[in-house]
Homo-oligomer: A and B are copies of this chain.
Amino acid sequence: MTQYLVFGHKNPDTDTIASAIAFAYYLNQKGHQAEAVTLGTPNEETAFALDYFKAQAPRVIESAAGTGAHVALVDHNEASQSIDDLAELTVDYVIDHHRIGFESAQPLYYRCEPIGCTATVLYKMFGEAGIEIPAQIAGLMLSAIISDSLLFKSPTCTPEDVDAAQALATLAGVDAQVYGLDLLKAGTNLASKSEETLLNLDAKSFDMNGHQVRIAQVNAIGFSDLLARKEALLKAMQAEVEAKGYELFLLVVTDVLDSNSFGLVVGQDVSALEAAFGQKVVDQQLELPGVVSRKKQIVPPLTDSYAAR
């Protein structure tokens, strides 16, 4: 029987880890042998959710070639965000809600929907297959939707995400608003973290028309703590740019209560970024009023801006 390793993107967030656990459960219920794994340790928000619902963190792996297992990707599809040896693996499933940059030699099961959260896609798949969702997994899937939608405030959030979250909250036996605020707060404990850690809490690499772009995001309550660390953050970003060869590194700091962001920027040529948002980078800083979603409000205009070159 084919064995499956199920995992989300590097720098795992709550949706990536919850969706890996949920989809591994789904595959097992369908009669397959599947294990949820992760490409990194859970962040504090995810650790809070795992602890709250008494779930174990998945095993961390760095490679999968040679295990004989096929793989299922959740919450991502681009090779640059996935396991290093992806090219040597057979991908049988992709469940996602991001832009697509994917190539395969064989047909596979690929399901992407333009909604707020991979866990919402999985919620629909459980329903279609008539598989009941246990309370623990429902709680983790609810956490994923709250995390990705910033408690339903992000423009990525759709009515399907809200409906799924309400149903999952009932299954999990929690109040979505009360639990949700506790979950988001658990993810904004930034003072104890080094600049290097902050830059990798939730960071993704993109190939935009041949330009290597890194976009990290940090959720905060208010901007003052991180503005006070601006010089140290820029220095750490510069070090990563030099080490990894990124053409542009954008750190987006988002106030989760106020639904607002600003960006810190390292890169020789910031003109594509300035064109994407119609304003100037001043002192390596860019205002991003009303922006909370990397996927919906940052990646598309920046992709278009690089494509227009």
Contact call A303/B110, Cβ cutoff below 8 A: no
**Residue interface mask A286-309, B partner, CB < 8 A = 1:** 000000000100011001100100
**Does A282 sit within 8 A of B, measured CB to CB?**
no
Q: How many copies of this chain are found per oligomer? A: 2
State in angstroms the CA–CA spacing of A109 and B95 once bound together. Answer: 11
Q: In the assembled complex, which residues on chain B have CB atoms less than 8 Å from the CB atom of A106?
A: 99, 114, 300
The 7 closest A-B pairs by CB, nearest first: A107-B114, A110-B112, A105-B303, A101-B103, A100-B104, A128-B128, A99-B104
State in angstroms the CA–CA spacing of A263 and B97 once bound together. Answer: 41
21 contacting pairs across A/B (C-beta < 8 A): A98-B107, A99-B104, A99-B105, A99-B106, A100-B100, A100-B102, A100-B104, A100-B107, A100-B108, A101-B104, A102-B102, A105-B300, A106-B114, A106-B300, A107-B112, A107-B113, A107-B295, A108-B112, A109-B112, A110-B111, A110-B113
Q: In the assembled complex, which residues on chain B have CB atoms less than 8 Å from the CB atom of A97?
A: 107
15 further contact pairs, Cβ within 8 A, besides A102-B102, A108-B114: A99-B106, A99-B107, A100-B103, A100-B108, A101-B102, A101-B103, A105-B299, A105-B300, A105-B303, A105-B304, A107-B113, A107-B115, A107-B295, A110-B113, A128-B128
Bin chain A's interface residue count.
Answer: 20 to 34
Smallest Cβ distance from A198 to chain B, in angstroms? 26
